[in-house]
Structure 1
Amino acid sequence: MTVPERAGAHSPDADALAFLTRPGLTRLWTAARTRLERNGLQPAGAIRLERLDAQEREALSLLLAKPVNGPTATIRLPDLDARLRTSAVGRGLASTLGQLGPPLTDRRAARDAAAAERALVWSTAQTEVEATSLSAQPWTGQWLEEIRRGGILARQDQHTATIVITQAVQILATLFPGTDPDPTPASWGRGELATRATGSAHGLDDGTLLSRLVLRGIALARGVELPADAPTRRALWRMASVTPDEVSSTVLAYGLRPTGGTWREAALRERADHHMEAHLTLRELRTLHLKMPPGTRVHVCENPRVVEAAADSGRTAPLVCTSGSATTVVLALLDALAASGCTFAYHGDFDWPGITLANRIMQRYRAEPWRMRAADYEYLATRTQVLGTPQIALTGTPAEAGWDPELAPAMNTLGIALHEEAALDLLMEDLG
């Protein structure tokens, strides 16, 4: 079959469509689509098809109205466009491809439009800078250039990018209002500053795009490295006289008896003497002198129920609870205890997220496993089966236990997840 000559039709008839969609032409249309999208949708240049099979050679011969005999064919797109227009298809190459598949994308026009949008974003940013005190700051140009090179705004749509860079300029101009490189700054709460710039108290929360841009500017202004973790980010905010929220998140602790002489350390010792847990904020941790008695061994657990049981039974060993994945305030307390010379023992859930968390804590603090070896898991799993305790299936992505290579295989074999409560009686024995 050949493609019939055009007979006044404005769209391919059923026979023509059946021909155009035959498998022997699939590679041709794919290659032609790619070339047109790169060429601004113009049928210019040529495409080369190699390793043609018999089915493809036949289809191309019929379509082009000339024999294609070898394993390779070079098709000029202007010729293909003209051939389609004079056949029963009755339309050019671009229109035909739109009929056969999804709409064509003018990638050249899209690139030009994206470049124009990025240029507008940077033009807006420059205008905003020139209208503020940042125009006199020696680091502002480097700040803008680093943001541009990093591509952090290029990944946003124009509207979002323009809003965020404008807000970042306004915030930095608020923090650095004059030419004095080290002025006596006004103090801001981070939530207050965020509300002023964005309307939301969470606009500068850790991890937001806006906070990353502002912190980059503060780091350049203060001549320090861009922070890589939460504690150094908080420290950098304070360098610009911005107080992060340090009271909403807490870490659960029990039995801490620091040797410091202020009322804060005394209050912790008194709570420990009365078998009462403590919820410590980052603000408290900054003012506490957490010097512990030499050789203090701190047990670390994952579930608050362990702390509750320790308090109810009057246990005396120091205990810190991560309450799931260890947050910034949890790590801040453990860091302080580690700095005072404490050693650690860790216990968590026998499931894959629990193993991942245990790896993190044990590696960071060189903690010993606390009833967290393969033998402990197998004993607890067997005990739950003997007692007829309902079983929890082990699901998720397996994680190797860095402290015991036999643990993950044992968990995979038995397929049972065990939460910390399954070992509560044994943990209480160790905390006596």
Structure 2
Amino acid sequence: MSSPGRTDKGPLDAETLAFLTRPGLTRLWSAVRTRLERNGLQPTGTMRLQHLDAPEREALSLLLARPVTGPTATVRLPDLDTRLRASAAGRGLTATLEALGPPLTDRRAARDAAAAERSRVWSTARTELESTSLSDRPWAAQWLEDLRRGGTLTRQDPHTATTVVTQAIRTLAALFPEGDTPPAPASWGRGELATRATGSAHGLDDGTLLSRLVLRGIALAHDTEFPTDAPARRALWRTASVTPDEVSSTVLTYGLRPTGTTWQEAALRERADHHRETHLTLRDLRALHLTMPPGTRVRVCENPRVVEAAADAARRAPLVCTAGSATTVVLTLLDALAASGCTFVYHGDFDWPGIALANRVIRRYAAEPWRMRAPDYEHLATRTRQHGTPRLPLTGPPVKAAWDPELTPAMEALGIALHEEAALDLLLEDLG
């Protein structure tokens, strides 16, 4: 290491590279790399290496040109920098580590740059806010400050954060024009509003960051809680005179005979009398007055095939199908039926997602299980095996059935998934 100095450019020669990468120096370079990246790549400060073994002491002695004999060594980074410049390495400490690889990261500069980017995001947002009808709304200033403190946008890259917060401000400005707090009834459709803000009709769909930001603003403007479920989000949109899409999602029904006198109720009764299933939208449900006959018992199933079979067999019992998930439109219908005094029984798939869905419905509506107990499962499993039906294995983590402590152990023991069609003939008997 006593060769004349060279410039900091170019690769290290093979002999120097072999010396600097010897195992005895591995801990040193790792610690130095960490210190340099914290120090803005400046070789300042002192380090202590402890619990040195013999190869490490030998390598450090040669590198530092002084004997290292104990288990601990103190290394001044300025001295190491000077030593490397005067050695065969021919370059300073930072350049040497760059040559050894991988490239160093100036973490201090990266933090400063990130902070500057975040500052630009909020500066842009404040400027945008001041240029709109929101400039004199105290809730709007609070909304922006809450976003800054909450960290929701700081987890995004600066370009995305700037774009989304700007779109949110412009969307809220459209909903709260000058002199209109809260806004007068408007005829905004959510897709129309989203297109205006983002160029896409889906820009304000549930689950998007933009929709969450806008809803937080609406909640603050109306001094209400931020919604935690889909029905509450739809209600908050309507508070701001925005109509969500309420026609694309439907719930499959059969045999509903409400007692109301409007044409919608009459149409439901007529379809029930002719054994025809009916798909209801959220828009339909808001217009319906679902007053049912006293003591109506509604069957709830998971698979549309049950509804189809009930219609083919001209069964009369009222039936609601979740189609595999308790969506907003499904829960809205069941809520309305429960409010009218209906009681429920539930059947679904004997697999773990099916048990989870059954738990949700049974708990929410105090529904009775419908052929959904351990003996029902064991009977169906035996019958499918006797019929030579191919085995469908259970997959995923087990789910405890809230209504029957013996069901989940029985399913784990047999390991067979049974879909609702396996019990179709039994369900049709009950629907008769």
TM-score by length of 1: 0.92
> 1:224-373 to 2 correspondence within 5 Å?
224-373=224-373
Aligned mates of 1:212, 1:174 — CA distance in 2: 16
Per the alignment, do residues 6 and 343 of structure 1 end up closer, same or farther by CA in structure 2, a change over 3 Å counting? Answer: farther
The equivalent residue for 1:92 is 92
Q: Secondary structure at the match of 2:138?
A: coil
Q: 1:92 corresponds to which letter in structure 2? A: G
| 1:389 partnered with 2:389 | yes
Q: Secondary structure at the match of 2:134?
A: helix
Q: Secondary structure at the match of 2:181?
A: coil
The equivalent residue for 1:420 is 420
Deviation at 1:196, TM superposition (A): 1.3
Per the alignment, do residues 44 and 190 of structure 1 end up closer, same or farther by CA in structure 2, a change over 3 Å counting? Answer: same
Does the CA contact (< 8 Å) of 2:182 and 2:221 recur in 1? no
Deviation at 1:414, TM superposition (A): 2.4
Moved more, 298-307 or 27-36: 27-36
Deviation at 1:192, TM superposition (A): 0.9
| 1:208 partnered with 2:193 | no
Moved more, 369-378 or 212-221: 369-378
Instruction: Write out per-residue CA displacement over residues 29-60 of structure 1, whole angstroms, 9 at most, x where no aligned residue.
Output: 33222222221121222333344444444443
Deviation at 1:398, TM superposition (A): 2.7
Instruction: Write out per-residue CA displacement over residues 92-138 of structure 1, whole angstroms, 9 at most, x where no aligned residue.
Output: 33233333443222111111111111111111111111111111222
Deviation at 1:325, TM superposition (A): 2.2
Task: Give 5+ residue unaligned stretches, structure 1.
Answer: none
| 1:169 partnered with 2:206 | no
Q: 1:45 corresponds to which letter in structure 2? A: G
Deviation at 1:415, TM superposition (A): 2.4
Does the CA contact (< 8 Å) of 1:380 and 1:423 recur in 2? yes
Does the CA contact (< 8 Å) of 1:348 and 1:358 recur in 2? yes
Instruction: Write out per-residue CA displacement over residues 53-105 of structure 1, whole angstroms, 9 at most, x where no aligned residue.
Output: 44444443443343444444333222333333333333333233333443222
Per the alignment, do residues 171 and 390 of structure 1 end up closer, same or farther by CA in structure 2, a change over 3 Å counting? Answer: same
| 1:153 partnered with 2:156 | no
Aligned mates of 1:326, 1:368 — CA distance in 2: 17
The equivalent residue for 1:110 is 110
Does the CA contact (< 8 Å) of 2:355 and 2:400 recur in 1? yes
Q: Secondary structure at the match of 1:417?
A: coil
| 1:79 partnered with 2:74 | no
Instruction: Write out per-residue CA displacement over residues 267-303 of structure 1, whole angstroms, 9 at most, x where no aligned residue.
Output: 2122222211110101111121122233332222221
Moved more, 303-312 or 23-32: 23-32
Instruction: Write out per-residue CA displacement over residues 178-224 of structure 1, whole angstroms, 9 at most, x where no aligned residue.
Output: 13424534321111111112111111111111111111111111111
The equivalent residue for 2:63 is 63
Does the CA contact (< 8 Å) of 2:5 and 2:89 recur in 1? no
The equivalent residue for 2:126 is 126
The equivalent residue for 1:47 is 47
Moved more, 150-159 or 364-373: 364-373
Deviation at 1:150, TM superposition (A): 1.3
Aligned mates of 1:98, 1:159 — CA distance in 2: 31
The equivalent residue for 1:399 is 399
Does the CA contact (< 8 Å) of 2:5 and 2:85 recur in 1? no
Q: 2:356 corresponds to which letter in structure 1? A: T
Aligned mates of 1:4, 1:368 — CA distance in 2: 88
Moved more, 156-165 or 288-297: 288-297
Q: How many residue pairs were aligned?
A: 430
Q: Secondary structure at the match of 1:179?
A: coil
Aligned mates of 1:381, 1:34 — CA distance in 2: 61
The equivalent residue for 1:178 is 178
Q: Secondary structure at the match of 1:330?
A: helix
The equivalent residue for 2:218 is 218
Does the CA contact (< 8 Å) of 2:352 and 2:396 recur in 1? yes
Aligned mates of 2:407, 2:203 — CA distance in 1: 43
Moved more, 151-160 or 333-342: 333-342
Moved more, 391-400 or 49-58: 49-58
Deviation at 1:26, TM superposition (A): 3.3
Identity of aligned residues (%): 77
The equivalent residue for 1:379 is 379
Deviation at 1:8, TM superposition (A): 4.4
Per the alignment, do residues 12 and 250 of structure 1 end up closer, same or farther by CA in structure 2, a change over 3 Å counting? Answer: same
Aligned mates of 2:402, 2:18 — CA distance in 1: 61
Cα root mean square deviation, aligned: 2.2
TM-score by length of 2: 0.92
Per the alignment, do residues 27 and 426 of structure 1 end up closer, same or farther by CA in structure 2, a change over 3 Å counting? Answer: farther
Aligned mates of 1:371, 1:73 — CA distance in 2: 75
Task: Give 5+ residue unaligned stretches, structure 2.
Answer: none
Aligned mates of 1:349, 1:231 — CA distance in 2: 26
Aligned mates of 1:55, 1:371 — CA distance in 2: 74
Aligned mates of 2:146, 2:48 — CA distance in 1: 42
Q: 1:383 corresponds to which letter in structure 2? A: R
Q: 2:171 corresponds to which letter in structure 1? A: I
Q: 2:189 corresponds to which letter in structure 1? A: G
Aligned mates of 1:404, 1:304 — CA distance in 2: 25
Aligned mates of 2:82, 2:405 — CA distance in 1: 68
Moved more, 407-416 or 57-66: 57-66
Q: Secondary structure at the match of 2:261?
A: coil
| 1:198 partnered with 2:198 | yes
Per the alignment, do residues 387 and 60 of structure 1 end up closer, same or farther by CA in structure 2, a change over 3 Å counting? Answer: farther
Aligned mates of 1:65, 1:358 — CA distance in 2: 75
